[in-house]
Structures are given as C-alpha cells and as structure tokens.
Amino acid sequence: MNQLMFIQEAISIAASLMLLISFALLAQHRLLSVLHWFSAQGIVLAITTLLVALISDHDELYFSAAMTLLLKGALLPWLLWRIIMKMHIHREVEPMVNMPVTMMIALGLVLVSFHIALPIEAISDLATHNTLAIATATVFLGMLMMITRKKAVTQVIGFLSIENALFFTAIGATHGMPMIVEIGVAFDVLIAAIIFGLFFTQMRSTFDSLDIEEIEAKAKRR
C-alpha cells in the first residue's frame, strides 16, 4: 500500500513535469532547445508509462514504455535534429504572437482543461485519474504550439508533442490503449516523421523557404 502511494506521488510529479515541459516548449526561442525539450517530453512520458506499468496489471505497458523511450525520447528527436542540421534551419523560432501573450493563452487553456476534466475525473477510479486534466492541457498546448508558430519544423514538433500528449492521456485515463493500437500509432508517427523530412526538402526546393506565411504568399502569386 505504501509503495502504491509512493508511485502515485511519482506519477503526479511526472504529470507536473509534462505540464512544465509543454510550457517550456512554448517558451523556447531556439529551434535546438525546442528539440531538447521535445526529447525530454518523450523521456518523461516513458517514465510515466513505466510507473503506471508498476501499479497496473498490464504487462505490455513495460514494452510500450521501452518503445516510447526509444522512439520518442531518442529516434524522433534524432531524425528531426538531422533534418535541422541538413537544412541549416537552426535559427530562432518565430512565434505569431509574442511570448507573454502565448503564455497567458496557455494558462487559460490549462484552466479550461481542468474544468473539462473534472466530471471525467470524478467517475474514474483509476490511480491516475488526477492526471487527466494535465493530459488534456498538454494536448491543448501542443495545438497552441502548432497554431502560433510560423516555421514548418516547429509546427511538426507541435504535432508530435500532441501525439505524446494523447499517449499520456490514454495512459492516464485507461492505463494504456491495446498493444496493437499502440504499435500502429508508433509506426504511424515514425513514418510521419520520415515523410515530414521528405516534405521539408520538397518545400525547400519548391518554395525556397520553410516559413508558412512566405509559402502562402508565394503560392498566391503563382
């Protein structure tokens, strides 16, 4: 029982770390530090999965923890890092709205998700039911990141962090999806990352830029 309490506490800490990382992703100015935080998000996600695996009787969660660590903590960040290095785009992140305003919106989103998650948390009897509000918030924050960034690479990282957040939500709400779904999603994300890589190269060679606004302007002129 005491051990269960301890793990529950550890899960709360991991959940608050997830929230902190989502904010850190939004606050970064440099592309490479965004990537570092994205990798950290994958690692925290893997730790959370491991912790949930310890208190639930789903043994396959150990496997998905290992997969998360490898795929989201190492492989995806490495793929993105290679793209960034190859295309020389490690310049500053350009947000549409300035940092304090983004942060205020982000805080508001956390409040909203807290409000949304309350009734669901009330009917859940899992040990992780507290994390649901934070999980919803991280999904929202990933979307906010996708919306407020101009560069395609940061938008892709936003997309991948939404995927991380959804995985986190699944673990918190139901102790993980069926294994086959999880493997499917993991491979989808991996393939998506590779396709994004090709896509970036295409965009660069066609439009000579990865800035979405610039691309739109050029597309209109054609």
What is the DSSP secondary structure assignment for residue 175, as one 8-state letter? Answer: S
- The smaller minimum CB distance to other proteins, of residues 71 and 135, is found at 135
- Give residues 15-54 in contact with other proteins (rule: CB under 8 A): 15-17, 19-20, 23, 27
CA distances from 148 to 30, 125, 191 (A): 15, 36, 25
How many binding residues for other proteins (CB under 8 A)? 26
Shortest spacing between CB 13 and other proteins, in angstroms? 5
The distance from CA 160 to its chain's CA centroid, rounded to whole angstroms, is 5
Binding mask 92-111 for other proteins (x = CB under 8 A): -------xx--x--xx--xx
Nearer Cβ to other proteins (121/163): 121
From 56-64, 127-135, 152-160, 202-210, span contacting other proteins (CB under 8 A)? 127-135
Q: 2 CB contacts (<8 Å, ≥6 apart)?
A: none
Residues between 132 and 161 that touch other proteins (CB under 8 A): 133-134
Residues counted in the chain? 222
* 115: exposed, middle or buried (Cβ count in 10 Å: 0-12, 13-18, 19+): exposed
Concatenated DSSP letters for 57-89? S-THHHHHHHHHIIIIIIIHHHHHHHHHHHHT-
- Whichever of 12 and 174 has its CB closer to other proteins, that residue is 12
Provide the binding-site residues for other proteins, judged by CB under 8 A. 9, 12-13, 15-17, 19-20, 23, 27, 99-100, 103, 106-107, 110-111, 114, 118, 121-122, 129-131, 133-134
